[in-house]
Chain A
Amino acid sequence: MSKSNFTRRGVLKTGAVAGAGLALPTYLNAASHGFTNAPTGGTVTLGFNVPQTGPYADEGADELRAYELAVEHLNGGGDGGMLNTFSSKVLEGNGILGKKVEYVTGDTQTKSDAARASAKSMIEKDGAVMITGGSSSGVAIAVQGLCQEAGVIFMAGLTHSNDTTGKDKKANGFRHFFNGYMSGAALAPVLANLYGNDRKAYHLTADYTWGWTQQESIAASTEALGWETVNDVRTPLAATDFSSYIAPVLNSGADVLVLNHYGGNMVNSLTNAVQFGLREKQVNGKNFEIVVPLFSRLMARGAGENIKGILGSTNWHWSLQDEGSKAFVKSFGTKYGFPPSQAAHTCYVQTLLYADAVARAGSFNPCAVAEALEGYEFDGLGNGPTLYRAEDHQCFKDVLVVKGKENPTSEFDLLEVVEVTPRAQVEYAPDHPMFAGGSLGSCNPGA
């Protein structure tokens, strides 16, 4: 009984310390290490927050596969994938900074509330130091805001709205995926080239923020090349049958239909448009054409034969022949038996980029990581030389213009690359009006 704390004085002391602890507002164990969830011990935990239920569940499942592959490669397993082609060579396959990478997963349900709840549980309960994933812009922006408050890094998954790195950009958030503006800039010249400069376009737009920003981008870039926008009709998100929106199109004098839809909306509106026989029609003496500005191969499968010959843009496609893409497709295909989707690609790359930035910064501190990512030039990850721009945390890289393949050889071989639009053509000023209105703020380590 010589070294017992259970004296009156000892109890008082403990009480005082506990009291002091209570009085100090801390966010988790941030105070003791200078930033939220500093990894202690031999492991580091990453949070993969993807839709596992709801309409984007398959896309989420593909993202998760990519994350598991990335973790395997970071920990030195598998064939190393893109680590071998990545221009930066600081990652050695021994985890991140020698710490073994572990991960937790969560379900965003493609709802901002649920996504935030699941991200919070990863941060508060599992001690995740970085959150990544998602399959819609609403979720990406909501979780990005949360990570900013909590003081962890957010590496966005599939999010295409201009707002993610526009008016809702955050210092702790980073996006590798391309955006609506880039789709427009890449697609418009190809459209003008194939369909002529005097087309009249009819837009059907999903009635929420992503749809609006994409519609704005496509309309602006096609109008700059001489097209006319006849009409822009907003369709409810919950709509499943688009017949009443598509039926009046032929009568409007338009000769191109632009479908600013994604996911289930896209599958249904495209199917309906083809059903109405729009593609066999002639208007103004020209063949009627349909354009789907944001293509996702995974979702396009649902539209079946209807996507044949339809133009759109995509962030990445597995048929690319550069070394990085080939290495990624090989390791993904060997492990899972089918080629990866663009969502899988962007998630895999984001994980590698995060790990690489930590390794270069020599610290998991979000501010150090952000600094290492800002203005970072890299190559070998599938899209050619790429820049993570410091001003808005958006990646700038080549964009693919693709077309629904006429004679697919397999259920994965649905798109063919029409043109690889060079990076210079899709760049814009950070204060471009479509991206104005927000500011990054300062990076938050959570302490």
Chain B
Amino acid sequence: MDAILLQTLNGLDKGSAYALIALGLTLIFGTLGVVNFAHGALFMIGAFCAVTLSRIFSWSYTVIDETKTDFLGNPLKVDVPYVQAWFGDEMGAAIIDWSVPLAIIFAIPIMIFIGYAMERGLIKHFYKRPHADQILVTFGLAIVLQEVVKYYFGANPIPTPAPDAFKGSFDFGAFLGMEPNAIIYPYWRMVYFMFAGIIIAGVFAFLQFTTFGMVVRAGMADRETVGLLGINIDRRFTIMFGIAAAVAGLAGVMYTPINSPNYHMGMDFLVLSFVVVVVGGMGSLPGAVLAGFMLGILESFASMNAIKSLIPGIDQIIIYLVAIVILLTRPRGLMGRKGVMED
């Protein structure tokens, strides 16, 4: 029982990442009808916004410490971050410590700008082109983006820890009156889950309750008619592209303490997020979110020892297996609309 509860928690957390990426991807599919293979790269760029900010915060000047020596026997150079010099040791250290949450503020404008620039500069010219061309150009873009990141940050993962306040884990088991240590859950993962919930709710509220969102939804349903009504729908779609990029970027920022980011983390998520979107049903935002959480939870269940010993290797293929079963039983995924991306 506690094992199932434990894996459900894990799955919710994994699912949050899937859901956020798939949500952004669906916004682009649904509004613009573009197959965006660079979406994983946007997630990766978001993560590197956090890395960059923590680099900026720990930007340092060098002091030579004569009492210690480095590996070649020369006097050791010690780096002192400017923020510590300006704000005092304690405040400076706190700023560096909180760089990941602070990066959210830093990442939103950057990601919206990147999304906007991408749409205006490149994607715009590909609306009328076949999906194959869209795949080629966005895949090329994804490679270029990740190689640029690799050039500046290297190929190795870069540790970007969560603030000290969120280190360690919460003992759910003891909280629910079970044995201690039966169900533990890291604080940061809880933060991630709640953060994902807020973003998802925010996007839905924005689409549901604002005039802007209403127009966008109308445009998703019938772009031509909305255009005929004299509404500049393209402009709104461009902004939606920026928002989708921001959602992917924020998912990346908050993901950095969970796993140290590296330049190919976007590619690792790309295939999975496509599967999630399609399982959810093309063009359906609730479908994408639902499929994200569902696949996350099923993936966690499949890695349980009891199930693994029953079917060896099931955790390697569970996501794909579920995708096949769902697509065969429900032709348009969980909540897909008829006629979207079927040709």
Contact = CB atoms under 8 A, between A and B. Distances in A.
A236 B3 contact: no
A319 B71 CA distance: 7
Nearest to B186: A275
B80 interface: no
B150 interface: yes
A233 B260 contact: no
Contact of B156 (A231, A283, A298): A298
Contacts, number: 136
Interface in A407-436: 409-410, 412-413
A275 B316 contact: no
A235 B150 CA distance: 27
Interface in A224-265: 231, 233-236, 238, 240-241, 243-245, 247-248, 250-251, 264
A241 B259 contact: yes
Interface string B183-206: 111101100000000000000000
A251 B264 contact: no
Contacts of A413: 71
B227 to A, nearest CB: 42
A292 to B, nearest CB: 15
A236 B169 contact: no
Interface string A52-66: 001111100100000
Interface in A284-327: 298-299, 301-306, 318-319
B155 A248 contact: no
Interface in B238-280: 257-260, 262, 264-265, 268
A173 B150 CA distance: 33
B189 A410 contact: no
Nearest to B265: A240
A329 B158 CA distance: 24
Interface residues of B, number: 51
A207 interface: yes
Interface in B57-100: 68, 70-72, 76
A57 B159 contact: no
A409 B76 contact: yes
Interface in B7-28: 7, 9-11, 13-14, 17
B304 interface: yes
A111 B252 CA distance: 27
B299 interface: yes
Of the candidates B2, B14, B262, the one having the most CB atoms from chain A within 10 angstroms of its own CB is B262
Given A54-B155, A233-B305, A280 B71 contact: no
A267 interface: yes
A244 B3 CA distance: 10
Nearest to B168: A277
Contacts of B305: 231, 233, 248
B316 A236 contact: yes
Contact of B71 (A207, A247, A339): A339
Contacts of A360: none
B189 A243 contact: yes
A330 interface: yes
Contacts of A412: 71
Interface string B116-136: 000000000000000000000
Given A251-B181, A409-B76, A244 B155 contact: no
B54 to A, nearest CB: 11
A268 B150 CA distance: 19
A61 B158 CA distance: 17
Nearest to A304: B159
Interface in A57-77: 57-58, 61
Interface of B: 2-3, 6-7, 9-11, 13-14, 17, 68, 70-72, 76, 150, 154-159, 161, 167-169, 181-186, 188-189, 257-260, 262, 264-265, 268, 299-300, 303-305, 308, 313, 315-316
List of 3 A-B pairs having minimum Cβ-Cβ separation, nearest first: A304-B159, A302-B157, A57-B155
Interface of A: 54-58, 61, 207, 231, 233-236, 238, 240-241, 243-245, 247-248, 250-251, 264, 267-268, 271-272, 275-277, 280-281, 283, 298-299, 301-306, 318-319, 329-330, 333-334, 339, 409-410, 412-413
